[in-house]
Structure 1
Amino acid sequence: MMSWLAVVALAGWVGLRLLGWEPAFLWSQLVSFTPYAAVLSLVPLPVAVLTRDRPLQVAALVVAGAFATVVLPRALPERNPPAAGPVVRVLAVNLLHSSVPPSALMAVVERVRPDVLHLLEFTDRMRERVEGLGLGRLLPYEVVLPGKNSEGAAIYSRYPLRPSETPIEAPVFKGSPRHLPAVITLPGGREAEFVAVHACAPSEGWRTACWASSIRALPPAAERPRVLAGDFNSTLDHVVLRELIATGYRDAADVTGKGLSMTWPYYEQPRLFPKAAIDHVLADRRIAIRGFETVPLPRTDHRATLTELVFP
């Protein structure tokens, strides 16, 4: 009986995920953990075999297969389009209200040598400290969106950049995070747009109204190559993120077979606490994605993302 209840519950889970229906914000949180549900879907199979319950075997196999179609592709690398242009390394970091020690951030920047750095939850005080430690020497160009706690953001670059003219009409609530677009002139003179992404979280109160609309506000892929990198507060199991990708992007973790690399929450959480992949790098389909990895930093609940892109 318990096995049947588990199969029915998991069937409902994967059915909602496949339909793309997110009936309430609580489900929008829960669906983030679909990879764990996929693992649980394997448990009724040996029970069904041992009990020789043929209907249960069939039902469990169908449910596990449905989860496999949703989750397994993230662990399989995809082919890249031909690209022989500039190679750009992008590091995106959520600083958790700028709680990351500036020296630790600088140590990572000096070690991985990004060409573009997205900083989220970036405060004026943090800016003073990291620039005092020489961030401007490594990445001399910057566009900064001032703000307190989770509102601020910045893009630092090895190459010339300027504020983007692309309007991002994200919903504005007091204290809500904001996206920051900028245009970078790559070696060879071609321009590309980079957006430091920080979407609202699908939680209680005003954030519930802010969440999906803050992702829908992000610009679709366009004629000029565009890269969106940062904290989307969404996983590949959220239909709102998949719709954005479908406009002409590819998810860097998914493309490199690392789509199950979890990025949150890590700070002050038990080691076995379930994690979700809510930090992403979405690159125009014409851009080759040569590498993706997550990078730990102290005193933040997010893993940073480091991506190597090859532009056409």
Structure 2
Amino acid sequence: MADPRPSITDKRRSFRQLHESGCFAIPNPWDIGSARYLQSLGYKALATTSSGFAWSKGYNDNAVPRDTVLAHLNELVEASDLPINADFESGFASGLGGLADNVRLAVETGIAGLSIEDSTGDRANPLLPIDAAVDRIRAARHAIDKAGGDVMLVGRAECFLVGRTDLDETIARLTAYSMAGADCLYAPGIRSREQIAALVAAVAPKPLNLLIGHASPLTMAEVAELGVRRVSVGGALARAAWGGMMRAARMLADEGRFDAFADAASGVELDDFFRDDRRRRQLG
């Protein structure tokens, strides 16, 4: 009997098609359970979250070893029928050769997309010089093309996240990454309608990913009207889960009270969901 689950090629093809028109949400699970639940809600694609996964493993963001991240990517690809976009941080290598090797390893996990950011982790010099960042996008592009070319490359400009809120610099970086081979562009930290519209126009006709990881007044419909093609939430779903756990645990520790459990998900509902999900996958 043929496997009814979509192949890696199918996932990558559908992922590219999602970026061709309209606007879609691409939420960020941090483990198998959250990925399968999000899939059940009808989303068309998922993206990993470096922060959400790091916290689940007891790390701070950007501190998880490369091989642990690669195993996580493989796990989510196997767990979900949806295309997976990888938050691949800055590529886990300082040199271009190492970056290319790591991108190849990520592609081999079966992901449909992969992002490379331009941050350094150095507070004194938080962003790579633009020429160096462009070289890294080119190296990632070459590695993807050598592996077959069907994985989407996302170029990330981290300017606003590190306090460099000059929109012109962000636009210059994104357009340079686009010319270097990025298929989709992304500038986390952008919030205002004016900023969003400016970035959409600057990178067109290529798609823009917008991060909304806060209680934004914008809706998906309004974001779509601005020309955004996809919306991710980063670590927001993981933070929401952590927020509920932390509030309940602190209330119990500080006050000896259990009130916060009133908002907890039903254990019966969760068991029923995962039981049915497992059966569907076994029968499928």
Give the TM interval when normalised to the shorter protein. 0.3 to 0.5
What TM-score, normalized by structure 2, do the two folds share?
Answer: 0.36
Higher normalized contact order (CA 8 Å, seq sep 6+, divided by chain length): 1
Tell which structure's C-alpha radius of gyration is larger.
Answer: 1
Determine which structure has the larger helix proportion and give its number.
2
